[in-house]
């Protein structure tokens, strides 16, 4: 029997979990697997990314055991991006000029950080908190800085604030909503969390709408100007203001995409093309995009089972989350 040509676009936590689940339930010899890994390093643990600042190396954050891909005959194209998908011919074209044919395709392209349209947000020393490369840039900037701000008081923003504090930076959190983690907490919980954050020495500014960022200041390199007329001088800014699904490839090849973004999937994690699956933060199930890793892991399991002919269905996931504060 000929091998099933399986292509996976994305080598993040969910894309790698799909591979692990597949190999747990089937022999790698049944598949010819090619993985597009756009980043310069193979799959690593983003959930514990903040620990990179304190005691973990990039190697320690890796999710891939040494020799794992080679042992199973999996081809991983590191630093290579899928740029087009031809669904009729079932072929992917890459940034390196490579063509990869597939029988089944897994889209695990994840998401990208969304930054509000604030004037000056694209200037020097403005960062996002997403990859090891982002953290390297933040750490380098922190060495020549005294004061920093995190725009966004959600789960990841507060973890970023804790990391900046541990780097010795006077840290400010800027949140548009009346409270921190407004999507997860009620008012009482938000007040308790704020007290905890402030007890760590992080300064919290809620109900603040940033209008612009000016590349000058008296005591620091930048000035943040807010809608209420107040200002805050900082040396650098980290944006943690939400994510958007990476669904551009899907749109280009004619797959159904949800009105608010995300590749539309059914309960089997199939897209509008039954030979293409979408899992993780790039997928939209019942018009919902899940910004947590646990639903992505469940999607990976469902997609594996469906490809192998087993009955399973994605029915949502536990959305509870744990805030990791580096006190």
CATH number at residue 274: 3.50.50.60
222 and 166 in a common domain? yes
126 and 220 in a common domain? yes
327 pLDDT more than 70: no
Cα maximum dimension of the chain: 72
Q: What is the CA radius of gyration of the chain?
A: 21
pLDDT the model gives residue 188: 94
Rounded-to-integer distance, Cα 8 and Cα 278, Å: 10
Rounded-to-integer distance, Cα 308 and Cα 305, Å: 5
pLDDT the model gives residue 53: 80
Rounded-to-integer distance, Cα 226 and Cα 208, Å: 6
206 and 256 in a common domain? no
Number of neighbours of residue 301 by Cβ within 10 angstroms: 21
122 pLDDT more than 80: yes
CA dihedral for 284, 265, 258, 6, sign (positive or negative): positive
pLDDT the model gives residue 28: 82
State how beta strands 126-128 and 236-239 pair: parallel
- Which of helix, strand or coil describes residue 90? coil
pLDDT the model gives residue 179: 94
CB-side neighbour CA atoms (13 Å) of 54 = 15
The residue range of the domain holding 211 is 115-239
160 pLDDT more than 70: yes
55 pLDDT more than 80: no
Last residue of a domain, one of 196, 213, 239: 239
50 pLDDT more than 90: no
Number of neighbours of residue 201 by Cβ within 10 angstroms: 10
71 and 17 in a common domain? yes
Rounded-to-integer distance, Cα 208 and Cα 4, Å: 53
Span 183-223, pLDDT tens digits:
889 999 999 999 999 999 999 999 999 999 999 999 999 99
Last residue of a domain, one of 208, 239, 270: 239
325 pLDDT more than 70: no
Q: How many angstroms separate the Cα of 166 from the Cα of each of 50, 157, 170, 204?
A: 10, 14, 10, 16
- Mean predicted lDDT score pLDDT of the chain: 94
Question: How would you label 103-128 residue by residue, b for 16+ Cβ within 10 Å and e otherwise?
Answer: ebbbbbbbbebebeebebbeeebbbb
Question: Which uninterrupted H or E stretch holds 92?
Answer: strand 91-94
pLDDT the model gives residue 210: 97
Q: What is the percentage of the chain residues whose pLDDT exceeds 90? A: 88
90 and 47 in a common domain? yes
78 and 13 in a common domain? yes
124 and 234 in a common domain? yes
319 pLDDT more than 90: no
Span 290-305, pLDDT tens digits:
999 999 999 999 999 9
State how beta strands 263-265 and 222-226 pair: unpaired
Q: How confident is the model at residue 317 (pLDDT cuts 50, 70, 90)?
A: confident
Rounded-to-integer distance, Cα 293 and Cα 245, Å: 14
251 and 233 in a common domain? no
What value, to the nearest 5°, has the Cα angle with vertex 283 and ends 277 and 289? 160
- Exposed (0-12), middle (13-18) or buried (19+): which is 134, by Cβ within 10 Å? middle
318 pLDDT more than 90: no
Q: What is the percentage of the chain residues whose pLDDT exceeds 70? A: 98
Q: Into how many domains does the chain fold? A: 2
More confident residue, 184 or 21: 21
Angle between helices 155-166 and 187-199 (to 10 degrees): 10
Residues 302, 309: contact at Cβ < 8 Å? Answer: no
Question: Would residue 327 count as lying in a domain?
Answer: no
- Exposed (0-12), middle (13-18) or buried (19+): which is 311, by Cβ within 10 Å? exposed
Span 233-258, pLDDT tens digits:
999 999 999 999 999 999 999 999 99
Closest Cα partner for 209 from 225, 230, 222, 227? 227
pLDDT the model gives residue 1: 63
């Amino acid at each position: 029997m000929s091998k099933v040509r399986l292509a996976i676009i994305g080598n993040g936590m969910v894309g790698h979990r799909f591979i692990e689940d597949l190999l747990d339930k089937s022999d790698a010899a049944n598949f010819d697997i090619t993985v597009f890994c756009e980043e310069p390093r193979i799959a690593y643990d983003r959930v514990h990314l903040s620990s990179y600042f304190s005691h973990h190396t990039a190697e320690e954050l890796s999710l891939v055991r040494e020799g794992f891909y080679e042992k199973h005959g999996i081809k991983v194209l590191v630093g290579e991006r899928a740029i087009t998908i031809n669904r009729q011919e079932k072929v992917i074209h890459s940034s390196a000029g490579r063509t990869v044919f597939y029988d089944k395709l897994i889209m695990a392209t994840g998401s990208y950080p969304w930054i509000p349209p604030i004037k000056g947000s694209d200037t020097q020393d403005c960062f996002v908190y997403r990859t090891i490369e982002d953290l390297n840039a933040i750490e380098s900037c922190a060495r020549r800085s005294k004061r920093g701000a995190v725009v966004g008081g959600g789960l990841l923003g507060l973890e970023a604030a804790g990391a900046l504090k541990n780097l010795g930076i006077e840290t400010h959190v800027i949140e548009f909503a009346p409270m921190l983690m407004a999507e997860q907490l009620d008012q009482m919980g938000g007040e308790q969390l704020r007290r905890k954050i402030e007890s760590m020495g992080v300064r919290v500014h809620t109900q603040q709408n940033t209008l612009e960022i000016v590349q000058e200041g008296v005591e620091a390199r930048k000035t943040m100007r807010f809608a209420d007329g107040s200002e805050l001088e900082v040396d650098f800014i980290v944006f943690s203001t939400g994510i958007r699904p990476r669904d551009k490839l899907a749109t280009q090849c004619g797959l159904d995409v949800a009105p608010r973004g995300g590749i539309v999937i059914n309960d089997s994690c199939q897209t509008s093309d039954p030979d293409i699956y979408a899992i993780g933060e790039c997928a939209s199930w019942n018009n919902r995009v899940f910004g947590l890793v646990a639903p992505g892991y469940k999607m990976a399991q469902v997609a594996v089972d469906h490809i192998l002919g087993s009955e399973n269905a994605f029915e949502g996931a536990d959305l509870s989350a744990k805030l990791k504060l580096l006190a």
